Chains A and B, each alone.
Chain A
Amino acid sequence: DGGITQSPKYLFRKEGQNVTLSCEQNLNHDAMYWYRQDPGQGLRLIYYSQIVNDFQKGDIAEGYSVSREKKESFPLTVTSAQKNPTAFYLCASSITSTTNYGYTFGSGTRLTVV
Chain B
Amino acid sequence: DAKTTQPTSMDCAEGRAANLPCNHSTISGNEYVYWYRQIHSQGPQYIIHGLKNNETNEMASLIITEDRKSSTLILPHATLRDTAVYYCIVRPPGSGGGADGLTFGKGTHLIIQP
- Give me the interface of A with B, judged by CB distance under 8 Å: 4, 31, 33, 35, 40-45, 48, 50, 56-59, 88, 90-92, 94, 96-103, 105-108, 110
Given contact pairs A100-B91, A101-B49, A45 touches B103 in the complex (Cβ within 8 A): yes
B90 to chain A, nearest CB (A): 10
* Size category, B interface: 20 to 34
Q: Would you call B103 and A100 a contact (CB within 8 A)?
A: no
Q: How many A-B residue pairs have CB under 8 A?
A: 82
B97 interface neighbour in A41, A45, A57, Cβ under 8 Å: A45
Q: Would you call B43 and A107 a contact (CB within 8 A)?
A: yes
> Inside 8 A of B43's CB, which chain A residues have their CB?
4, 90-92, 105-108
Given contact pairs A100-B89, A101-B49, A33 touches B97 in the complex (Cβ within 8 A): yes
| A–B complex contacts, Cβ < 8 Å, 19 sampled | A4-B43, A31-B96, A42-B87, A42-B103, A42-B105, A42-B107, A45-B97, A45-B99, A45-B101, A48-B97, A58-B99, A91-B43, A94-B97, A97-B96, A98-B94, A100-B89, A105-B44, A107-B42, A108-B41
